[in-house]
Structure 1
Amino acid sequence: MGNKPKVVVVGAGFGGIAAVKKLAKQDIDIVIIERTNYHLFQPLLYQVSTSVLSTDDISYPVRAMFRDYDNVELFMAKALEIDGKRKVVVTNHGDVSYDYLIVAAGATNNFFGMANVEKYAYGMKTIPEALHIRNHVLHMFERANKQIDNEEERRKMLSFICVGGGPTGVEEAGAIAELVAVQKKEYPNLNFDEVSIRLIEATDKVLPMMPPHLRQHTINVLEKKGVQVMLNTQVADCNENGLFLKDGTFIPSRTVIWGAGVKAHKLASTIGAECDRAGRVIVGPTLQVPGYPEIFAIGDNAHFLQDGRPLATVAPVAMQEAWLAADNIIHLCKGETQLHNFKYVDHGAMATIGRCQAVVNWGFVQIGGFVAWLIWMFLHLLRLEGAHADITVGTKWFWNFVSGTRLGRIITNIKLDDEDAAMENKA
């Protein structure tokens, strides 16, 4: 890298990668700061957590993405702070200077200040979290199978609660219900009438981006799969034995999966600009941070008002913002002062409810069921990185459709004893 303008992009999510793909074709040096070495396709994390897919099916090495571009470099580190005055990003491996900066650090789970919920519930924003859920859920069946004389403990282990009626909660609840159906064939000693799956939502609707008839379709499908949908139900607290609701109800459970909200990565708040309650930087029309014209915030890190309300923290918003931010940086690198204002174009939304069931809302196209599921699968395959992912994910989905089996039901967090550990070290 020489004396060309230097653009630093923090984060290798949808927004960060979209920006780099556009900038990479310019005479610009680009540094990606990312804690991991891969891009994660987050919409399919729930399928890792429920044993449908493996981690390498939904992730792709960042260096492999940009191996044909000598002007793109990965700096694998944890971004700690943005010093706008010195124009550096402070990381745990040293400072990284920039001429222009795109903050696309993504989001973390928002537990709304409930410390016990944060301690005992399972978030699902990263691969380690998804694997933790997968291992835990599979362990629950194994442990319940040993509780021959303790019905109360069995029921607690076989109770699965998903909090949040957005796509994450809906997709996770539907997938767990299908996983339970697979487990029925392999645990003859368990009474599967003791299994309970609940989807809890604080408002009066699931999938708020969908029209009423598709929201009702979603509830009908979930209930048919054995999921109890609890609307207008607010969480008050949590412990290792279950969930407390604000109406005083206690639900015994060893498994509470949290999909009820996100907040911006704390890095965004270190810029020193005004942020909203979710930690997102309030950006201007060009996505620049007020007071720091060389810094652009996008995706989960940006609070952008359109039609009187902030845009949702979803991948399509992040990608469109990334393209606009990259365009504006290209203009600035060329010495041009006239920048474009951002305008989000909503192309609709979709969510899957399980095998052969999804909902799609594209303006006049509002459908649910098998055709919606085919559309959902096709578009998600198009957005995956690399031919390997397309082939393997497509094959696994087809096999799951034909057989209903889950190939990824492998428990990977079993502690090795001394003899096993010695063998592992020799390998």
Structure 2
Amino acid sequence: MDAIDTRLPHLVVIGGGFAGLWATRALAKAPLRITLLDRSNHHLFQPLLYQVATAGLSAPDIAAPLRHILRRQCNVQVRLGEATGIDPAARRVALADGGALGFDYLLLASGATHAYFGNDQWAAHAPGLKSLDDALHLRRQLLLAFERAEACDDPAERAAWLSFAVVGGGPTGVELAGTLAEIARHTLKDEFRRIDPASARVRLVEAGPRVLASFPEELSRKARRQLERLGVEVSTGVPVTAIDGGGYRLGEDYVHARTVVWAAGVAASPLARALGVPLDRAGRVIVEPDLSVPGHPHVFVAGDLAAVQRADGRPVPGVAPAAKQMGRHVAASLRARLRGVQAGAFGYRDFGNLATIGRMAAVVDLHGFKLSGLLAWWFWLAAHVFFLIGFRNRLVVLLNWAWAYWSYQRAARIILGRDREGPVPPA
């Protein structure tokens, strides 16, 4: 590969997610030299992360190495590392290894992390789902719960191991709860001798009045009915007020549960504060219409880290399509800057909402065109397979889901790593 021309303006992109990667790819022929910086060496298709957590897919099915994706883009250098600080005036990014990157332009697209609404101590007992590490840890925790229940002699303790709670009734929470119920009632059938996995209690807890609040109320009701048919207990209108190693408090009632999963909220990456500019209540950067940072026109923010409003005043949601559109818009703005032309304002195009609940159960809202049940499930499946990066990923996911559809089996049900609570006690 030819060396990158160091005389070209230098763009540093922090984050290889949807916004960062889509901007980088859109600048393939731009007169720029680009450094893509990420803590991980891969791009992750986050909408299917819950499938790794619930053993339906393995990690390589939904992730691809950034170097492989960008191997033919000659103006890009991929660098594995972590940004710890940004000096917009000096145009430098400080790195965790003590080094630094100078830049002419910067795109900050480092995404979001879990938000526990001021109760960060809950994180130790209620893991969230944002990375492959999170998914593999959660998969281990879920599968070990059944193993510990099988080895347990005390009925009360066994019931606690077979009690699962998902906190948060958005798409991720709904998808996790529905899949957990399917695993307990179908995938693990006849595999244990001392417990009946189907007796597991799976509860979805939403503090608001209904699940899938971003969907029309009609689809929200249908989603709840589909969850309940799968065996999920749906609790709405009462918040979780405490979580510890033994369970959680729902309102005034304490529920014994050894597995609690957090899907209730996200917070912006702490790097946003390093810019020293105004942030919104969620910690996101309030950007200019072209996604640049106020007072620093050479710095852009995109994806979950950008606070952007639509024409009707509603915020642009933190979803993959929005991040991709922002990434492409930043690329267009940079190309305009290099030509000496004023960049236009970002306009979000909303394609609708999709959420799956379980086997043959999903809801789809495409601006008035609503689907639920089997047709919605096929639509959801086709959309997610289509947007995966790489032919191999699409083919593998399609084959794995086809097998799971007919057999109820989940191919990635292997427990790896060390158990943080010690070895599984003998039966």
SS of the residue aligned with 2:354? strand
Distance 1:193 1:218 in 2: 21
Q: Which whole-Å deviations, capped at 9, do the CAs of 1:331-384 have from their partners, x for residues lacking one?
A: 112222x11101111110101111111111111320011111111111111111
Q: Which whole-Å deviations, capped at 9, do the CAs of 1:64-95 have from their partners, x for residues lacking one?
A: 11111111111110111111011111111311
Distance 1:176 1:391 in 2: 24
Distance 1:11 1:193 in 2: 41
2:283 to 279, 283, 294: 279
Query: Which residue type is aligned with residue 217 of structure 1?
Result: K
Contact 1:141 1:158 in 2 (8 A): yes
Q: Counterpart of 1:63?
A: 67
Residue 161 (1) aligns with residue 165 (2): yes
Query: Which residue type is aligned with residue 328 of structure 2?
Result: W
Q: Counterpart of 2:78?
A: 74
User: What's the RMSD between the two structures over aligned residues?
Assistant: 1.3
Query: Which residue type is aligned with residue 136 of structure 2?
Result: L
Q: Counterpart of 1:95?
A: 100
Relative distance call for 1:412 and 1:193 in structure 2 (3 A) is closer
Deviates more, 1:203-212 or 1:294-303: 203-212
Q: Counterpart of 1:419?
A: none
1:203 to 198, 204, 208: 208
Q: TM-score, normalised by structure 2?
A: 0.94
Query: Which residue type is aligned with residue 104 of structure 2?
Result: D
What's the CA shift for 1:194? 4.1
Distance 2:205 2:29 in 1: 46
SS of the residue aligned with 2:333? helix
Residue 44 (1) aligns with residue 41 (2): no
Distance 1:411 1:193 in 2: 20
In structure 1, stretches of 5+ residues that fail to align are: 417-427
Q: Counterpart of 2:221?
A: 216
Q: Counterpart of 1:234?
A: 239
SS of the residue aligned with 2:234? strand
Distance 1:415 1:405 in 2: 24
Question: Aligned ranges for residues 387-406 of structure 1 at < 5 Å?
Answer: 387-406=391-410
What's the CA shift for 1:116? 2.6
Relative distance call for 1:376 and 1:415 in structure 2 (3 A) is closer
Residue 327 (1) aligns with residue 332 (2): yes
Distance 2:418 2:327 in 1: 41
Query: Which residue type is aligned with residue 143 of structure 1?
Result: R
What's the CA shift for 1:45? 0.7
Distance 1:9 1:360 in 2: 33
What's the CA shift for 1:176? 0.6
Contact 2:164 2:203 in 1 (8 A): yes
Residue 13 (1) aligns with residue 1 (2): no
Q: Counterpart of 1:422?
A: none
Question: Aligned ranges for residues 13-412 of structure 1 at < 5 Å?
Answer: 13-93=17-97, 94-148=99-153, 150-181=154-185, 182-192=187-197, 194-245=199-250, 247-306=251-310, 307-336=312-341, 338-412=342-416
What's the CA shift for 1:115? 2.8
Relative distance call for 1:376 and 1:39 in structure 2 (3 A) is same
Query: Which residue type is aligned with residue 80 of structure 2?
Result: M
SS of the residue aligned with 2:398? helix
Aligned pair count reads 413
What's the CA shift for 1:193? 5.9
Contact 1:116 1:237 in 2 (8 A): no
Contact 2:247 2:257 in 1 (8 A): yes
Distance 1:103 1:281 in 2: 10
Contact 1:15 1:104 in 2 (8 A): yes
Identity %: 40
Q: TM-score, normalised by structure 1?
A: 0.94
What's the CA shift for 1:308? 2.1
